[in-house]
Amino acid sequence: MELRDFCLIFVHRRNLFLGVLAGFVILSLLIFRFQPGRFETSLSVNVSRSGTQTTSDYAYDQFYRLQADERFADTVTRWLAAPSILEDIRTVSGVSADVAGSISAKRLSSQMIDVTYVSRTRDGFGGMARAIPEVLNGETEKLNALSKSPDWFTVMADDPVVRDARLPVRLLFPLGIALGVFFGFWVVLIHWYLRGEDGIGR
């Protein structure tokens, strides 16, 4: 079979090919339309100090303090993965267990932690932005209960940023076209093969 004959297979079955392509495009639009809501909030949490401690010793440009801040930021990140801490956050914020359980924390620098969590609705986050630093500072104060160091750690949070985390139509539509072309190609060839035609057929 020559290339011209091969191309004519698709020309004569263009309605089948276009039908498969249109089906996948429509399916991608339906997925976009009926996918459940998913909103993601990003909250920047910063580890700082509650005061300063005067000393006559050489401070090495605060190098050791930055190291301590980094280690404590690691501790805060691990706190946000502990079930007991997540339950305290859920209780204080009043959100559902699904929202509190979706918390994910990643340390970005020695003092900055990016905290993300998701909800099905834009207003389903409750008081999470307030509850997270409140609970974390409560745990921090427990560690300082005996020493009462004036230079102890404190946790501060910036204003949260909420974004629509659903699959966007600009991704689903091209994906639908690509899948439609791929499966349309094979559906046409399989249809031609099952017809048992030696030539291009119709």
What are the DSSP calls for 15-65, one per residue? HHHHHHHHHHHHHHHHHHHHSPP-EEEEEEEEEEESS----SS--GGGHHH
Q: What is the pLDDT of residue 122?
A: 85
- Segments of the chain assigned to CATH 3.30.70: 39-164
pLDDT at res. 61: 47
Tell me, letter by letter, the H, E, C secondary structure of 125-140.
CCCHHHHHHHHHHHHH
Task: Assess if CATH 3.30.70 describes domain 39-164.
Answer: yes
Full pLDDT tens readout for the chain, 202 residues? 677 777 888 888 999 999 999 999 999 999 999 999 899 999 999 988 876 555 555 444 455 667 788 888 999 999 999 999 999 999 999 999 899 899 999 999 888 999 999 999 888 888 999 999 999 999 998 888 777 777 788 899 999 999 998 999 999 999 999 999 999 999 999 988 888 655 555 5
Nearest to 189 by CA among 176, 175, 201, 177: 201
Predicted confidence at residue 85, as pLDDT, reads 94
DSSP letter string over 61-101? GGHHHHHHHHHHHHHHHHHTT-HHHHHHHHHHHT--HHHHH
Structure confidence at residue 107 (pLDDT): 92
Entry pTM:
0.72
